[in-house]
């Protein structure tokens, strides 16, 4: 019996040691100590959906009050960055000579109301909150309704040409020089006329592989062979480099929030993140959408975080985008970890702590505002998740 007891004690000690080793990388004290809370970015995505749900109104004064509420909410949890979607459909939530006023916040495209961007910047800066202008560069519509494009929209003149692609939405053809020029001009207009603190593109670049087949074939007739995938990557690289150059000239930070799955960036979106992260010619920061839990069987959070951090070779900072929108919900693509966001209420907190331990860490951002502040979207789990998250935000 004594031998059995000693054996059980040894097994117990061994199990404890394994647990301690396994979770030592989640040591809160160790990771929190490396953070400079004066410079840490603590951001929230404010998308066109939020603009429609919480800002849109016929009365400019009510729109201002709505924005005031947004700023107050963000400040209440000690966040210091709003990633504001200023152009989602070849449009603008600001005064522009290039793009029409957005129908997301107006009765119709081109019918101007309050300068949303200007007011957001004024109010946010009063509270020491940064504003990054979030742009979806190529998307014109999520539907195939060409008739919804007004004559004021730069896409209008490209209807029924190969500069505009219609299929599962409407998109500009990235390979066209006039499209690149349009996007670059649009960014320049913003950073020239508005005191934004940064410009950011999201993960939507090429909508599919076929949008510019004719241009690719023409390219091959005049240049050495590259695969279609390489051609797409090069097209996006040219755009990114040009946008970075004009932002650099105005001392405005420029970054991209790509798909958290590194492979998807090369097989679906054609975002050459590896090139961007080993040079100072493309971006100032990367905001990978690491929208995974710890138990995700395909892309577990910690391993994916390490992969992104290790890709960075230059002086580029990493702001980690986290999936608050998944809190309390089934994560169908996580396989055996699909119920993790239902069964736990401290995932975001732990992900913030872990992210802070990364060498290139500069902050985090949550997707998205409505899930944090709209009580119609609250669940018991999300309420507890938010409380736990706030414990590690100073």
Residue 131 sits in a domain of what CATH number? 3.20.20.80
> Does position 336 have pLDDT exceeding 80, yes or no?
yes
The pairing of beta strand 81-87 with beta strand 41-46 = parallel
- Is residue 23 assigned to a domain? no
Residue 77's Cβ-count burial label (10 Å; 0-12, 13-18, 19+) is: middle
Would you state the pLDDT for residue 21? 39
Angle at CA 98, nearest 5°, toward 94 and 103?
Answer: 50
Could you give the C-alpha distances from 190 to 117, 194, 250, 279, in angstroms and in order?
9, 6, 11, 25
- Is residue 331 assigned to a domain? yes
Residues 258, 265: contact at Cβ < 8 Å?
Answer: yes
Residues 68, 77: contact at Cβ < 8 Å?
Answer: no
CB atoms within 10 A of CB 14: 10
Could you give the C-alpha distances from 386 to 12, 82, 91, 94, 112, in angstroms and in order?
35, 17, 33, 32, 36
Q: Which range, of 30-34, 94-98, 159-163, averages the lowest pLDDT? A: 30-34
Q: Which range, of 11-20, 76-85, 307-316, 320-329, averages the lowest pLDDT? A: 11-20
Residue 293's Cβ-count burial label (10 Å; 0-12, 13-18, 19+) is: buried
Nearest CA among 264, 268, 285 for reference residue 276: 285
Angle at CA 350, nearest 5°, toward 346 and 355?
Answer: 150
- Is residue 21 assigned to a domain? no
First to last CA, the chain: 54
Which SS3 state, helix, strand or coil, does residue 364 take? strand
Mean pLDDT of 330-339: 97
Residues 66-109: tens digit of each pLDDT:
999 999 999 999 999 999 999 999 999 999 999 999 999 999 99
Phi and psi at 183, nearest 5°, equal -65, -45
- Tokens for 211, please give them: 């949008």
- Is residue 118 assigned to a domain? yes
- Per-residue confidence band for 2, with pLDDT thresholds at 50, 70 and 90: very low
- Is residue 152 assigned to a domain? no
> Does position 7 have pLDDT exceeding 60, yes or no?
no
Spatial distance between the Cα atoms of 391 and 32, rounded to a whole number of angstroms:
12
More confident site: 354 or 14:
354
**Host domain of residue 242:** 38-137+177-390
> Does position 199 have pLDDT exceeding 90, yes or no?
yes
- Is residue 159 assigned to a domain? no
Residues 153, 109: contact at Cβ < 8 Å?
Answer: yes
Residues 227, 183: contact at Cβ < 8 Å?
Answer: no
- Is residue 143 assigned to a domain? no
Residues 270-301: tens digit of each pLDDT:
999 999 999 999 999 999 999 999 999 999 99
> Does position 127 have pLDDT exceeding 90, yes or no?
yes
Q: Evaluate the CA torsion angle 100, 146, 228, 88 in order and state its sign.
A: positive
Nearest CA among 79, 173, 172 for reference residue 131: 79
Would you state the pLDDT for residue 18? 38
Nearest CA among 251, 174, 248, 170 for reference residue 205: 174
Helix or strand (DSSP H, E) at 198: strand 198-201
> Does position 9 have pLDDT exceeding 70, yes or no?
no
Angle at CA 392, nearest 5°, toward 389 and 394?
Answer: 120
Q: Per the structure, how many domains does the chain have?
A: 1
Nearest CA among 125, 106, 126, 128 for reference residue 115: 106
Would you state the pLDDT for residue 244? 98
Q: How much is the mean pLDDT over the chain?
A: 92
Residue 278's Cβ-count burial label (10 Å; 0-12, 13-18, 19+) is: middle
Residues 172-184: tens digit of each pLDDT:
999 999 999 999 9
> Does position 8 have pLDDT exceeding 70, yes or no?
no
Residues 164, 173: contact at Cβ < 8 Å?
Answer: yes
Q: Which long-range contacts (CB under 8 A, 24 or more apart) does 178-183 make?
A: 179/138, 180/238, 180/239, 180/242, 182/98, 182/154, 183/135, 183/137, 183/138, 183/239, 183/243
Residue % of the chain over a pLDDT of 70? 91
- Is residue 5 assigned to a domain? no
Would you state the pLDDT for residue 34? 53
């Amino acid at each position: 019996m004594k031998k059995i007891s000693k054996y059980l004690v040894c097994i117990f000690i061994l199990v404890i040691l394994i647990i301690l080793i396994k979770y030592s990388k989640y040591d809160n004290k160790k990771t929190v100590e490396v953070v400079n809370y004066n410079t840490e970015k603590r951001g929230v995505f404010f998308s066109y959906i939020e603009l429609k749900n919480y800002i849109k109104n016929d009365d400019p004064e009510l729109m201002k009050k709505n924005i005031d509420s947004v700023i107050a909410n963000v400040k209440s949890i000690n966040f210091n960055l709003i990633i504001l979607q200023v152009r989602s459909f070849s449009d603008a939530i600001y005064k522009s000579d290039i793009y029409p006023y957005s129908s997301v916040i107006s009765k119709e495209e081109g019918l101007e109301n309050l300068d949303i961007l200007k007011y957001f910047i004024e109010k946010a800066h009063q509270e020491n909150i940064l504003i990054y202008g979030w742009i979806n560069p190529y998307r014109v519509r999520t539907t195939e309704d060409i008739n919804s494009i007004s004559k004021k929209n730069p896409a209008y003149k490209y209807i029924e040409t190969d500069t505009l692609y219609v299929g599962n939405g409407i998109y500009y053809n990235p390979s066209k020089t006039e499209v690149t020029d349009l996007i670059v001009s649009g960014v320049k207009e913003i950073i020239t006329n508005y005191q934004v603190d940064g410009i950011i593109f999201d993960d939507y670049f090429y909508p599919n592989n076929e949008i510019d087949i004719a241009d690719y074939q023409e390219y091959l007739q005049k240049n050495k062979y590259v695969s279609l995938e390489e051609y797409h990557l090069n097209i996006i690289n040219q755009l990114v480099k040009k946008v970075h150059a004009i932002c650099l000239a105005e001392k405005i930070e420029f970054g991209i929030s790509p798909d958290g799955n590194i492979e998807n960036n090369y097989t679906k979106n054609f975002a050459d993140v590896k090139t961007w992260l080993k040079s100072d010619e493309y971006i100032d920061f990367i905001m990978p959408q690491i929208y995974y839990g710890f138990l995700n069987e395909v892309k577990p959070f910690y391993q994916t975080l390490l992969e992104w951090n290790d890709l960075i070779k230059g002086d580029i900072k990493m702001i980690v985008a986290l999936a608050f929108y998944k809190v309390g919900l089934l994560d169908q693509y996580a396989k055996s970890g699909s119920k993790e966001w239902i069964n736990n209420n401290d995932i975001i907190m732990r992900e913030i702590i872990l992210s802070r331990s990364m060498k290139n860490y500069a902050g985090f951002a949550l997707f998205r505002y409505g899930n944090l502040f709209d009580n119609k979207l609250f669940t018991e789990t999300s309420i507890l998740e938010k409380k736990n998250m706030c414990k590690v935000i100073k």
